[in-house]
Structure formats: structure tokens, C-alpha cells
């Protein structure tokens, strides 16, 4: 059966909940005795118990948690399914259990990584947070956008929260040069620096172009060569390699119906409904894009 439930008169979308022991993956080879990291075992187990309780709500098809302290891994576990157990899946739908090393998309949490890249360039004296974007992308300075700074972009105050004239076009997202051209020609919706409006997608393309012009490398390559490779990361980065897309946990729309202001945030930023955004976020074109 499908899994829409109703509580308190509001329809909630849930996933089927399985016994924790049946759907838990633990990296036993990596986890150490908590005492080696200065922790008590009951405290560490309490962390995981909290995760199990969250899973039991039926709001998350899969949850993964890795906790490191003093260079030691004290928790590296996952619970649930990466696919086949979404709210719209049937009980007979084939299910793929999550593993502790399953891949998950960070979606907008990657904005923090992009900010780190900008700060790294600032630290090296290649850019400064209060520099205008036009210092690096001269054609961006149209219709008053010459006053937009890198800081405005990072803090969602640039006044260009959407890609004008488009909806959540997956083919366009995969063409950063075209997106940058559209943004260069766009008129800001507000005076730069005056109003906070969530820049769901646009800021990443502008920052990505600045990084490319300053370093000669796209932001994916820069992050990999300057940060990820030196740290030994092998599955982290912008966009998923095509061969590994089947390993990525499916995004699912669960819980109560989206209501304002969150619903407005998504619809204005992406041009589609929250449910449609969740569906499209599983598309290989989205997963492989540098956004």
C-alpha cells in the first residue's frame, strides 16, 4: 500500500518503518572504543538511539551519522533504505538498504562548501569578500549589478534570487556558461545589499564563474585539487560522477504539506512546487550538475 497518513487532520507523507536491527549498517572496522576518544559508551549509544527514534517517525527513508572526535571514529552508521521505500513506493517495490558508505546529496548545504572556497581564495589574496563581482566578471555589471559584491552573493543579498524567465530547467542547469550569461543580462529585483532573498541556485553560478576566472579551474576541480585530494576524500565534491549516480540515496518528499513561507521560498527560488523539486532533484542531470 501507499503510505500517506493523517494526523491531527493534516495529511502527512510517511515511509514504511522497519525494525532497526534489520536496516542498520555499521562500519565496525572504523568505530573505536569511545573511551579512546574521551567519551563514555552510554553517551555514544545515546546518540545512535536518538537517530533510531528519528527514523521511527517515518519521516526519513534513510539516515546516516558519522561522529569523529580527537581523530577517532566513534560512530559510523546508517539506517533505512536509499531507494524503494519512499512515500510513493509500494510495499512490494524492491528496496535497497542504506550502507554506512552510501552516497547522499547535500543539496543547498553545499553552499557552505562554496563559501569555504571563497574564503580560501580570500586567504590567499586572490579575491576579497567586499570586491565587486565585476572586478572578475566585467560583463556582470549591467543594470546596477556593478555594486554587487562577493559578500552580497554569499549572504543572499545580491538581488538576483532566480534565473530570469526560467523554471527549474534541468538542461539549463547543466550549462553554467548559459546561466552566467542570463544572470549577467538580468536586472536585480532589489538594491544590492538591502534585502535578504534566498538565492537557491543563482549564487553558485556567479561564484563558480569568479573561481574559474581567478584560478583558471572550474570550482569542482579547484575544490578537489586544493582541499579534497590533500585530505584523502574520495566521494565528496560538486556533482556526482555519472557512474556513481545509482549509488545516491533518493530524495523523498515526506511530512506535512509544505506551507508558507517555506513553500513560497521554494516556488519563488525554483519556479516549481516542493513536491516537484524533490522529484527533479533525483534526476541524473541535477545530481551531476555543479550548482
- Integer Cα distance of 155 and 147 in angstroms: 15
Q: Grid coordinates 541556485 are at which residue?
A: 201
Cell (9 digits) for 180: 552566467
User: How many whole angstroms separate alpha carbon 206 and alpha carbon 149?
Assistant: 11
Say which residues have a Cβ less than 8 Å from residue 131's Cβ, sequence separation at least 6. Answer: 149, 150
What values do phi and psi take at 103, rounded to 5? -95, 140
Candidate list 25, 50, 102, 108, residue with the active-site label? 108
φ, ψ of residue 10 to 5 degrees: the values are -110, 135
On whether the CB atoms of residues 72 and 32 are closer than 8 A, the answer is yes
Whether 205 contacts 178, CB under 8 Å: no
Known active-site residue 50: no
Q: What share of the chain is helix, strand, coil (3-state, %, to 5)?
A: 40, 15, 45
Give helix 110-123 / helix 202-215 axis angle, nearest 10°: 30
Positions marked catalytic: 108
Amino acid at each position: 500500500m501507499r503510505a500517506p497518513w493523517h494526523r491531527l487532520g493534516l495529511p502527512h507523507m510517511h515511509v514504511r518503518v522497519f525494525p532497526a536491527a534489520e536496516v542498520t549498517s555499521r562500519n565496525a572496522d572504523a568505530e573505536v572504543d569511545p573511551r579512546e576518544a574521551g567519551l563514555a559508551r552510554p553517551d555514544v549509544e545515546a546518540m545512535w538511539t536518538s537517530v533510531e527514534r528519528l527514523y521511527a517517525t517515518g519521516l526519513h527513508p534513510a539516515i546516516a551519522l558519522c561522529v569523529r572526535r580527537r581523530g577517532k571514529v566513534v560512530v559510523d552508521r546508517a539506517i533505512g533504505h536509499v531507494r524503494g521505500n519512499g512515500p510513493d513506493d509500494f510495499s512490494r517495490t524492491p528496496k535497497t538498504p542504506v550502507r554506512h558508505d552510501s552516497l547522499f546529496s547535500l543539496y543547498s548545504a553545499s553552499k557552505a562548501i562554496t563559501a569555504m572556497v571563497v574564503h580560501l581564495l580570500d586567504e590567499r589574496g586572490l579575491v576579497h569578500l567586499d570586491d565587486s563581482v565585476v572586478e572578475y566578471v566585467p560583463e556582470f555589471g549591467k543594470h546596477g549589478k556593478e555594486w554587487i559584491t562577493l559578500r552580497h552573493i554569499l549572504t543572499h543579498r545580491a538581488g538576483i534570487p532566480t534565473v530570469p524567465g526560467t523554471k527549474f530547467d534541468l538542461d539549463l542547469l547543466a550549462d553554467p556558461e548559459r546561466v552566467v550569461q542570463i544572470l549577467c543580462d538580468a536586472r536585480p529585483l532589489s538594491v544590492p545589499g538591502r534585502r535578504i532573498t534566498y538565492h537557491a541556485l543563482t549564487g553558485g553560478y556567479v561564484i563558480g564563474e569568479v573561481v574559474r576566472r581567478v584560478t583558471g579551474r572550474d570550482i569542482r576541480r579547484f575544490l578537489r585539487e586544493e582541499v579534497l585530494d590533500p585530505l584523502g576524500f574520495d566521494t565528496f565534491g560538486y556533482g556526482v560522477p555519472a557512474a556513481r549516480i545509482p549509488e545516491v540515496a533518493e530524495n523523498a518528499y515526506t511530512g506535512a504539506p509544505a506551507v508558507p513561507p517555506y513553500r513560497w521560498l521554494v516556488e519563488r527560488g525554483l519556479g516549481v512546487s516542493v513536491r516537484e523539486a524533490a522529484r527533479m532533484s533525483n534526476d541524473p542531470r541535477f545530481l551531476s550538475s555543479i550548482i
